[in-house]
Amino acid sequence: MKSSNTWHPAHIRAHRNLSPTVREFEIRPEGGVKPWTVGSHLKVKVMIDGREETRSYSLVGLHDPAVYRIAVKLAAEGHGGSRHVWSLEDGEELTIGEPDNHFELAFNAPQFLLVAGGIGITPLVGMAQMLAAKGADVRMRYAARSAAELVYADTLQLTLGERLQTYCSDADERLNLEREIASLAPGAQMLVCGPLGLLDAARDAWAAAGRPPADLRFETFGNSGHHAAEPFWVELPRHQLRIEVPPDRTLLDVLAENGVETLSDCCRGECGLCAMDVISVQGQIDHRDVFFSPHEHRANQRLCACVSRVSGGGVVLDTAYRAD
């Protein structure tokens, strides 16, 4: 069972390519743009092989009364959601949810470090703009594969000037998180969005520096894991069910298709609503959420069904959801 969500008809007002693999879309909802805060995401219905699924994209920039802006990276190995969005032309219709925020910016810190990896820049653009407009002490570190993939770098340069530093891995430029964290003022907040490897490194460096966990906030995109997606089996003794999850589907979707009710909301591994109890595992759980801590991931007692997978076997699960 999904948490309550309201869907609205909308259409594409415009689109433009920001890089060879990232395309920005302006989406005009028929009922008008709802109020939203920086860090929010927007759900979009996509069609994949004739099935309707939901994808969630961060809203880019600041609130615009006319449109929502999202930037979508075409994922060659993804499940097809990005391909569907990329196929949309100007004027074409789509169905969207309402903005929701699991990546809130608290404005009360004395200093802010924004760290982006690749397409993880999307929620941080608006944060940088908002913080700079408020005169906050903000700096950004932005890493991508190449200069061509540093989308929104021009906008950010205008906003932040030399408070922005970029890193291209093809030029062997490396972001040194330990050094960045060491140079922060006490009480500073770090906001990170990027692939799982960057988040893991950020969490480790933050903890090693003895910084309070509450001052680190992060978000990921629910498709980056430690292992390539492969099929795995799932057993649910409570439902007397054994099902297969193909590489291009999420566990959550396959459970729903088999009549297993599970709470969910973000579908990006952030809110923890879809967490299920692990009874046993064969192979390795590829935890792709940012809801549980690295310690909880290692304990393997729960997993987020919306993003996490299993490599080399399968898992016996119990659903935490009770209809009553």
Please report, as ranges, the residues that interact with ligand FES according to CB under 6 A.
264-267, 269-274, 289, 291, 304, 306
For residues 257 and 203, give the distance between their C-alpha atoms in angstroms, rounded to a whole number.
Answer: 35
Burial label, 155 (beta-carbon count in 10 A; 0-12, 13-18, 19+): middle
**Distance (Å, whole) CA 216 – CA 206:** 7
- For residue 52, the tally of other CB atoms under 10 A from its CB is 9
By C-alpha distance, which of 41, 62, 29 is closest to 152?
Answer: 62
Which residue bears the tokens 């219905």? Answer: 45
Nearest to ligand FES of 152, 291 (CB atom) = 291
- Pick the closer one to ligand FES by CB: 40 or 264: 264
Q: Please state the length of the chain.
A: 324
Measured from the CB atom, is 22 or 59 closer to ligand FES?
59
Sign, Cα dihedral of 81, 85, 88, 93: positive
- How far apart are CB 222 and ligand FES at their closest, in Å? 8
Per-residue DSSP letter, 79 = -
Dig out the tokens for 58 from the structure: 């961060």
Burial 67-84 (b: 16+ CB within 10 A, else e): bbbbbbbebeebbbbbeb
Compute φ and ψ for 153, nearest 5 degrees.
-60, -35
Q: How far is the CB of 273 from ligand FES (least distance, A)?
A: 5
In the complex, minimum distance from the CB of residue 266 to ligand FES, in angstroms, rounded to a whole number: 4
CB of 174 to ligand FES, least distance (A): 30
Distance CA 141, CA 92 (A): 36
Q: Which is nearer to ligand FES, 76 or 323 (CB)?
A: 323
The least CB distance from residue 186 to ligand FES, in Å, is 31
* C-beta of residue 270 within 8 angstroms of C-beta of residue 289: yes
Report the nearest approach of ligand FES to the CB of residue 219 (Å): 11
Least Å distance between CB 304 and ligand FES? 4
264 vs 319 by CB, closer to ligand FES = 264
CB of 168 to ligand FES, least distance (A): 31
Query: Of 139 and 268, which has the nearer Cβ to ligand FES?
Result: 268
Q: What SS3 string covers 128-176?
A: HHHHHHCCCCEEEEEEECCHHHCCCHHHHHHHHHHHEEEEEHHHCCCCC
**Residue 24 vs 219, nearer CB to ligand FES:** 219
Of the pair 253, 289, the CB lying nearest ligand FES is at 289
